[in-house]
Amino acid sequence: MTIHDTRGMDTAADAILRIEDVTKTYGPVRALRGVSLEIRRGTIHGLLGENGAGKSTLVGIISGQNTPSSGRILMDGRPLDHVDVKAMEEAGVFLVTQEPMIIDNMTAAENLMLGIWPTQGGFVDWRKLRADAARMLAGSGIDGAALAGRLDAVARRKLNILRAMFSGGRVIILDEPTAALTVADRRVLFDFMRRLKAEGVTFIFISHYNDEILEICDAVSVLRDGNLAGGSENVAALSSEQLTELVLGRGLELFQRSRRDHAGKTPAVRLRAVVGTNLSIDALDIAPGEILGFTGLPGAGAKELARAIFGLHPAGGTIWLGGREGPLPANPRAAFDAGIAYLSDDRRKDGAVGQMSIGDNIALSSLPSRSRAGFIDRKAEASVVARYFGAMGVKAPSPDYAVDTLSGGNQQKVCLGRVLATNPRLLIVDEPTRGIDVGVKQDVLRIIDELSDTGVSVIIVSTDTDELVRAADRVCVFDHGSIKETLTGEDISVERLRASVQA
């Protein structure tokens, strides 16, 4: 493990991008503090760091979305003076963001060609382009003629990545691209990246998953509190533990729940004859204090069942919960009243309210339970906010800050805090640690574990096998709308889960 040491390297010839002493401040927040680093041509360079470390801010600057407060960027040894998105895309630098930017009422193929800027005097062979686009899409399993608005989250993400590659990107920046991808999709993406790398394309790759960094990256740089904290030019020589230590500046004890066997207990939740679009479940019981994992390929039913229980996916059937039996909730309000809380994996759509403060967001959903006879208990509210702001380690000067000034992972923490604060009987969390750094991930799993100790039943919908292994007592693997296999005890392993999901 070495701190970036470029002395003695023939850097001028090697570096496609050089970041020199870049600083970025947002009022009192110093997001980047004099960061200097080099990205070598034709490499895959990992950018690592905890939530709020400054990764997205830095790549925002490199791609022309943000202006630095000071410092400069050199490409091919030449300093770039004015950088905006168009100028950087023309120079071949593309950013694929955490939230895909896709135009819904255009086809997939048209979206792919969005990045092609016809140059003045030059001309674009649209026919060839269209044929190329169709060929590229065919290889990715996306129907080029389909309206982009109809594509699912995974296809949209793939489309965005393909767009940058298709547009002749020389430097392609991927800000957490793999979060919504299956293992198979990830393999396709990585193969694609390797192929382009061999042709000389350079990548900057942001991820919170060690296994991905170790698999795909040649070099890494680590940001901590806006500073360049270290890095390595030889990722192949690192272990996962060393990588974690590089990111956190300390070792980390990985959380592992002492798995419980709930067989024979009187269930807290009983589901019967749940039938809906792509969903058909005869019976499923959940014990009090049980953590139940739902997993499967997209569309296999894991997410659909979770959403049906919260009144978000149309389905018939009965639920027995808290001593009462009735039809599945018709909407989230009814589900909430029955004591069910739900964290969506789509934090843009049903997530945090951006302009509101962190504190108000955390208090939002739990408001009804703490308002007695029409007025709100402010003291209780303040203590709930303080508790979850602290427990989740939200990185902001105070809970009064607006959520949309937070980094992606910190917004996710606020959403999770809000759901946990509602005191549910049944907690449903969809990809609870997606986008959350490796240190906080352990805290989140620990908080869910502690909640289950109080008797709350928990459903974790996840494609993160490591997360299921660490947190779940039992895992249901979904296929074609039904549960095809249920794993318990020692059978809950990464290998076993992967095999079952892909089978």
Ligand X SMILES: Nc1ncnc2c1ncn2[C@@H]1O[C@H](COP(=O)(O)OP(=O)(O)OP(=O)(O)O)[C@@H](O)[C@H]1O
Q: Which residues bind ligand X (CB under 6 A)?
A: 26, 29, 31, 49, 51-57, 395, 405-410, 437
Q: Find the shortest distance in angstroms from Cβ 49 to ligand X.
A: 5
Interhelix angle 153-166/183-198, rounded to 10 degrees, is 0
The helix or strand, by DSSP H or E, that contains position 335, with its residue range, turns out to be: helix 332-337
Is 69 strand, coil or helix? Answer: coil
The answer to whether 459 and 427 have CB atoms below 8 angstroms apart is: yes
- Residue 339 touches which member of Mg ion, ligand X, none, C-beta under 5-8 Å by kind: none
- Residue 117 touches which member of Mg ion, ligand X, none, C-beta under 5-8 Å by kind: none
Tell me whether residue 30 or residue 498 sits nearer to ligand X (CB atom).
30
Range in contact with Mg ion (rule: CB under 5 A) among 56-64, 325-333, 476-484, 492-500: 56-64
Q: Find the shortest distance in angstroms from Cβ 224 to Mg ion.
A: 14
- Residue 66 touches which member of Mg ion, ligand X, none, C-beta under 5-8 Å by kind: none
Q: Find the shortest distance in angstroms from Cβ 339 to ligand X.
A: 31
The DSSP bridge pattern shows strands 426-430 and 340-343 to be parallel
Mind spelling out the 3-state secondary structure of 80-105?
Answer: CCCCCHHHHHHCCEEEECCCCCCCCC
Residues ≥6 apart with Cβ < 8 Å to 231? 2, 3, 4, 37, 219, 220, 221, 222, 246
- Of the candidates 424, 19, 464, 58, which has an alpha carbon nearest to the alpha carbon of residue 223? 58
- The interface with Mg ion within residues 408-427 (CB under 5 A) comprises 408
Tell me whether residue 26 or residue 126 sits nearer to ligand X (CB atom).
26
Q: Find the shortest distance in angstroms from Cβ 57 to ligand X.
A: 3
Q: Find the shortest distance in angstroms from Cβ 179 to Mg ion.
A: 11
| Among 39, 40, 56, 343, interactor with Mg ion by CB under 5 A | 56
Range in contact with Mg ion (rule: CB under 5 A) among 132-140, 213-221, 407-415, 436-444: 407-415
Assess 289 for contact with Mg ion (CB under 5 A): no
**C-alpha angle 83-86-92 in degrees, rounded to nearest 5:** 85
Q: Find the shortest distance in angstroms from Cβ 170 to Mg ion.
A: 23
- Residue 413 touches which member of Mg ion, ligand X, none, C-beta under 5-8 Å by kind: none
Is 20 strand, coil or helix? Answer: strand
Q: Find the shortest distance in angstroms from Cβ 50 to ligand X.
A: 7
Beta bridge partners, 327, equal 318
- Residue 344 touches which member of Mg ion, ligand X, none, C-beta under 5-8 Å by kind: none
Tell me whether residue 213 or residue 428 sits nearer to Mg ion (CB atom).
213
Tell me whether residue 231 or residue 408 sits nearer to Mg ion (CB atom).
408
Say how many residues touch Mg ion, by CB under 5 A.
3
- Of the candidates 172, 179, 182, which has an alpha carbon nearest to the alpha carbon of residue 205? 172
Q: How deeply is 353 buried, as exposed, middle or buried, from its count of CB atoms within 10 A (0-12, 13-18, 19+)?
A: middle
Tell me whether residue 144 or residue 409 sits nearer to ligand X (CB atom).
409
Tell me whether residue 365 or residue 433 sits nearer to Mg ion (CB atom).
433
- The residue sitting closest to ligand X, measured at its beta carbon, is 409
Place of tokens 């000071």: 70
- Residue 467 touches which member of Mg ion, ligand X, none, C-beta under 5-8 Å by kind: none
Q: Find the shortest distance in angstroms from Cβ 69 to ligand X.
A: 12
- Residue 233 touches which member of Mg ion, ligand X, none, C-beta under 5-8 Å by kind: none
The helix or strand, by DSSP H or E, that contains position 17, with its residue range, turns out to be: strand 15-26
Q: Find the shortest distance in angstroms from Cβ 408 to Mg ion.
A: 4
- The residue sitting closest to Mg ion, measured at its beta carbon, is 56
Place of tokens 């589901």: 271
Place of tokens 């030059």: 122
C-alpha dihedral, 190 to 500 to 275 to 467, nearest 10° = -70
The answer to whether 369 and 422 have CB atoms below 8 angstroms apart is: yes
The answer to whether 229 and 457 have CB atoms below 8 angstroms apart is: no
Annotate 203-241 with b (16+ C-beta within 10 A) or e (fewer): bbbbbbbbebbbebbbbbbbbbbbbbbbbbbebeebeee
Q: Find the shortest distance in angstroms from Cβ 52 to ligand X.
A: 4
Residue numbers at the binding site for Mg ion (CB under 5 A): 56, 407-408
